[in-house]
Structure 1
Amino acid sequence: MATDIPGLTELWQRFDGWLAEHAPGDHESLRPGCPDGEIKRLEDGLGFSLHEDVRTTLALHNGVTMRGASTEPGAFLLGYSLLDVDGILEAHRDLVAMVEDAREAGEEDLVVGRIADRQWVPFARDVSGDLLFVDHRHHHWGEIGEMSFGDPEYRMLWPRMDLMLMDLCDSVEKGAPLTPVPRVPALYEGRMLEWHIRPHDSSRRA
């Protein structure tokens, strides 16, 4: 039940603690939280107020030290790396550009709310540029989505970030498959967390 789920800060601290013990490279990649002034700069750049989950996450960690190769740590969120304020603004500008280009081309119905949207706030990115985002649209407020440039439409992964963190914590602590996104946690060289695609879901993107 939702009432049994700890707060987001507690869940992030639980996940951080697991990383510190089992994936020290990933834990070392975490950057300190950002000050309130950076949050305001982000909101000014986006043009709207942030969901509290994004505020909480940035207050704890202003992204990670971005890795230069796949063998470097920092992509512990299903293969995605947490973005800092500048990274969020850059990724959001890319989404806005996709929306504007689609409107100019008369292809708004194929793009807006499907593979890009002004009210998606990216918070993690993988090496190919795919994104995890917090949806800020009214009827999708707070949902965690995944946008892949190879897919015709985004996927809603979790209805809230606390549910995402709860599932991640349970999965890494038990070494069990992650249900909403069919992945299995694995440690690489005892220093970083990887997420292997489950065999029966091999048709999906890794």
Structure 2
Amino acid sequence: MTSGTPDLVALWQRFTDWLGAHAPADLATLRPGCADGELGRPADGLGFAVHDDMAATLELHDGVVARRASTEPGAFLLGYGLLDVDGILEAHRDLVATVEDAREEGEEDLVVGRTADIRWVPLARNICGDLLFVDHRPQHAGEIGEMSFGDPEYRMLWPRMDLMLVDLCEALEKRTPVTCVPRIPRLHEGRMLEWPVAAR
């Protein structure tokens, strides 16, 4: 962490405090943190240790209650719902399968590190299946990326999770766009967040 930047626990608390005051239905979808015995499961399933930021997040919140429709709460992270451990491993298996298929078809250069990578660990998923992920490639470790199906390249949104949370908290508190996306927070029925694209 850089000097002057709050730690992840404090930032998640700031974020969830805002949800509690303004978007209670979203807050209610958050699951408790992983039990001690569950914290090793991601590494066992992935084959490598998760980044400290992801481990800290799972200790606080093991994802959200799964959404069945776009009208349900829980997509408070830029329109994405936090994944629990099972969801993380399932979504990662899909990325691995995509990479393996590309290698078999001789299209590795078009896919690996562009639309899928075995070192991308899904953090959150939207109703369409698009992902926010924590990059675990050595030269990109800890970056927050967005992978949308149909796009030819992923987008790096933030270099670290703490910076993501600072931007999100400031956007919520000031009702201003998150400029790197760009999306702006909006309350729906006084109970849940939406993140429509900000007008340019």
Q: TM-score, normalised by structure 2?
A: 0.98
Equivalent residue for 2:73? 73
Task: Look up the SS of the partner of 1:101 in the other structure.
Answer: helix
CA-CA distance at 1:180 after TM superposition: 1.3
| Unaligned runs of at least 5 residues, structure 1 | 201-206
Counterparts of 1:92 and 1:36 in 2: how far apart (Å)?
22
Question: What are the Cα deviations for residues 155-198 of structure 1, in whole angstroms up to 9, with x where unaligned?
Answer: 00000000000000000001111111111110000000111101
- Which structure 2 residues correspond to residues 152-163 of structure 1 after superposition, within 5 A? 152-163=152-163
Question: What are the Cα deviations for residues 121-153 of structure 1, in whole angstroms up to 9, with x where unaligned?
Answer: 001000010000000000001000000112001
Equivalent residue for 1:132? 132
CA-CA distance at 1:86 after TM superposition: 0.1
Counterparts of 2:15 and 2:198 in 1: how far apart (Å)?
22
Question: What are the Cα deviations for residues 70-105 of structure 1, in whole angstroms up to 9, with x where unaligned?
Answer: 111000001000000000000000000000000000
CA-CA distance at 1:36 after TM superposition: 2.6
| Unaligned runs of at least 5 residues, structure 2 | none
CA-CA distance at 1:67 after TM superposition: 1.2
- Which structure 2 residues correspond to residues 77-88 of structure 1 after superposition, within 5 A? 77-88=77-88
Paired residue type of 1:49 = A
Paired residue type of 1:110 = L
Equivalent residue for 2:27? 27
Equivalent residue for 1:204? none
Counterparts of 1:12 and 1:46 in 2: how far apart (Å)?
25
CA-CA distance at 1:199 after TM superposition: 2.1
Does 176-185 or 45-54 show the bigger shift? 176-185
Equivalent residue for 1:167? 167
Equivalent residue for 1:95? 95
CA-CA distance at 1:68 after TM superposition: 1.2
Residue 47 in structure 1 maps to residue 47 in structure 2: yes
Equivalent residue for 1:150? 150
How many residues are treated as equivalent by the alignment?
200
Identity of aligned residues (%): 70
Task: Look up the SS of the partner of 1:193 in the other structure.
Answer: strand
Paired residue type of 1:174 = K
Task: Look up the SS of the partner of 2:184 in the other structure.
Answer: strand
Runs of 4+ in structure 1 deviating by more than 4 angstroms, as ranges, are none
Residue 10 in structure 1 maps to residue 10 in structure 2: yes
Paired residue type of 1:111 = V
Question: What are the Cα deviations for residues 23-66 of structure 1, in whole angstroms up to 9, with x where unaligned?
Answer: 00000000000023212111100000110000010000000001
Does 65-74 or 165-174 show the bigger shift? 65-74
Q: TM-score, normalised by structure 1?
A: 0.95
Residue 112 in structure 1 maps to residue 112 in structure 2: yes
